[in-house]
Chain A
Amino acid sequence: MMYLADVGALARKDLRLELRARDTLPAMLLFVLSTLVVFHFVLPGDSSELAAKGLLWVAIVFTALLGLSRAFAAEREQGVIDGLVLAPSDRSAIWVGKALSVLAFLVLAEVVALPAFALFFGGVDGPMVAGIALADVGIAAVGTLLAAMAAASRARELLLPLLFLPLAIPIIVGGVGASVTSDPGRYLGFLGLYDALFAIICWASFEYVVTE
């Protein structure tokens, strides 16, 4: 119970910071919407639904990357991560709290992006939404760990995409597969497995990322 209370306090803190600073979610919304608008005008009128859905996934991954690059900004700027690491609470609670807030921002961006996609390109269905939901969990889990690693580096803006994008490839494969095939179950199962596996790995290894 104490662990969940810590996670709740840390996640609430991130949401409160965003409500006040408004430096992550607006940027994510602007990016995903402008990307969809650009795709809408550059794709030929007779282009396939597959191309549109593929581009949606590109937009989602890079929108997530934008959010992840800011995930530990507040902790980095005032050395707050040291104060959190020294607390007697389980350090993995920092990761869970942060991953939940990253997930919340990503879902909020998609709540706006998916209707825009439906308006421009059509074709948002259940399997596609389920694929996006499962992909969000994986992106938040892996991305938060990698964002913490990158935050400790001076080359964080370069390091985060270098670490994150290769690990996001299975998510894109699973998400696109769930969106375009007639048998999405296989891909949704793959995404679920990816989420479970990487959530456990990230949860267990976070302590080693934030300590020497």
Chain B
Amino acid sequence: MGVAGRDYSGMVIRARGVEKRYGDKRVLRGVGFDVARDGFLLVTGPNGSGKTTLLRLCAGLAVPTAGELEVTPERGRIGYLAHESLVYRELTALENLDLYGRLYRVAERRERIGMLLERFGLWDARHDRADSYSRGMLQRLALSRALLHDPDLLVLDEPYSGLDEEGASLLDRELEERRPSCAFVIATHDPARIAPLATSKLVLA
């Protein structure tokens, strides 16, 4: 169960023989896995192994060239963190989250934005433009954006990238708190940190 009234019985993601090609280049070949509604899939692999491509497929931003991929939550119920921050650099943190809050139909938007900015230590910088943020602050803002609509499926690409120890601890706490109510697909080069939370692991070659 992701949020009240949403019951994804069975699997949230079901992948069988997923393949992705860009032109002649095959990025993914024969990938298969399941993610239960309270599952936590840890995706690892060397650079260029297709982790980001797989996450884009799970988020619905790309479609497989071959194979079957079923993602149950509709697109408004997926939280996606990419390598880029997905925020407008010329807008403030508050303006960025307010725009996303409107588009993602977030109930009690202002309260939710305030809570996330407080939680990720950005409240004092909420009126600062994102282009004045450090890499770590930008990552905290990107995480706030991904979590804003309380998603049922979180697809996170290198979520610890750029975070200092305090930021990483905040993210640890956030993941643990959401663990029972959300499905996760997380790609990382540092699997040791979140391995205890993972229910399954996918190693891409």
Contact = CB atoms under 8 A, between A and B. Distances in A.
A87 B90 contact: no
Contacts of B84: 78-80, 82
A78 B91 CA distance: 12
A58 to B, nearest CB: 32
B121 interface: no
Given A78-B85, A82-B82, A82-B86, A87 B91 contact: no
A9 interface: yes
Nearest to A75: B88
**Main SS at interface, chain B:** loop
A42 interface: no
B88 A88 contact: no
Contact of B86 (A10, A21, A79, A211): A79
A13 interface: yes
12 contacts: A6-B103, A13-B91, A13-B95, A21-B90, A74-B88, A79-B82, A82-B80, A85-B61, A86-B80, A88-B74, A88-B105, A211-B61
Interface of A: 2, 5-6, 9-10, 13, 16-17, 20-21, 74, 77-80, 82-89, 211-212
Interface of B: 59-63, 74-78, 80, 82-91, 95, 99-100, 102-105, 129, 145
Give the top 7 A-B pairs by smallest Cβ distance, nearest first.
A88-B76, A79-B84, A87-B103, A83-B86, A20-B90, A9-B102, A78-B84
